[in-house]
Amino acid sequence: MASIVESGWRYLITNFNDFQLACLGSFFLHESVFFLSGLPFIYLERAGWLSKYKIQAKINSPAAQEKCITRLVLYHFCVNLPVMIASYPVFKFMGMRSSLPLPSWKVVSTQIIFYFILEDFIFYWGHRVLHTKWLYKHVHSVHHEYATPFGLTSEYAHPAEILFLGFATIVGPAITGPHLITLWLWMVLRVLETVEAHCGYHFPWSLSNFLPLYGGADFHDYHHRLLYTKSGNYSSTFVYMDRIFGTDTGYRKLKALEKAGVEDDGEGTCYGKGTCNGKEM
């Protein structure tokens, strides 16, 4: 397997220069993984397949889904791609390389674990700031236009938010100057995680059922369907920051009610503080 990866990488670095791989290659990889992982959830929602695993009963109209896709293409070409190009000199200065030999899996895994920890910390505080009144109204409310999220809504946001929270994703690699293959793997994992967190479905095979402190779709869906002042659940991938600062209290109360046999109406109207669907429990 290692020899196959190395042979493929040798082909890339032989036929493309560092700038092409780091900027255009990263953009192409991001778009491919993002849309190929996110589009299926649109079709699941439209067809009503696997509806028993859908977290909210509400569905998005085709017009709303198409609006999301159109805006995403615009944002990706007008914001994401220029940021990748502008960031290239910084990454090169910090030591990013694409040459052989490839880094060991020990180095790759250590760096990616560090990126997850750092990203979770920065994202949590940035996300909480975006839920203050002025920033929510003028910036973050764009992302919350979809109270019933689907995979592609994960990157549907105001351009200022794309830059603001995108910093959390790139600061780790910018600090360590990783091999480009590590950066690509990190990007793929983050895209798959955020698409899954916004997919709107909680499956028996969802990673949150097996990995402690992993947020997943059920955790983040709760954040989308509540008012911004009550939502909580600000974490990115892992939920330890919400647990530490008590900003997942409402969600955990809801889970306790569900475990006790109290269920919501499927429309995201259950709240913490001892109430469900507006009724005292």
Q: What sections of the chain are H helices per DSSP? A: 2-15, 18-19, 26-47, 62-75, 81-93, 105-130, 133-138, 159-176, 180-197, 216-225, 240-245, 249-259
Q: What is the mean pLDDT of each run of 10 residues along the chain (281 residues)?
A: 89 97 97 98 94 95 97 97 95 94 96 98 97 95 96 97 95 95 98 98 97 96 86 95 96 91 53 36 31
Give residue 228's pLDDT: 76
pTM, whole model, 2 decimals?
A: 0.91
How many Å from the N-terminal Cα to the C-terminal Cα in the chain?
56
- Of 48, 232, 38, nearest to 154 by C-alpha is 38
Give residue 229's pLDDT: 74
In this structure, what token pair is assigned to residue 96?
A: 């990013």
Dihedral Cα 210, 196, 135, 270, nearest 10 deg: -60
- Of 34, 33, 272, 258, nearest to 150 by C-alpha is 34
Give residue 26's pLDDT: 97
Q: In this structure, are residues 185 and 192 in contact, taking their beta carbons and an 8 Å threshold?
A: no
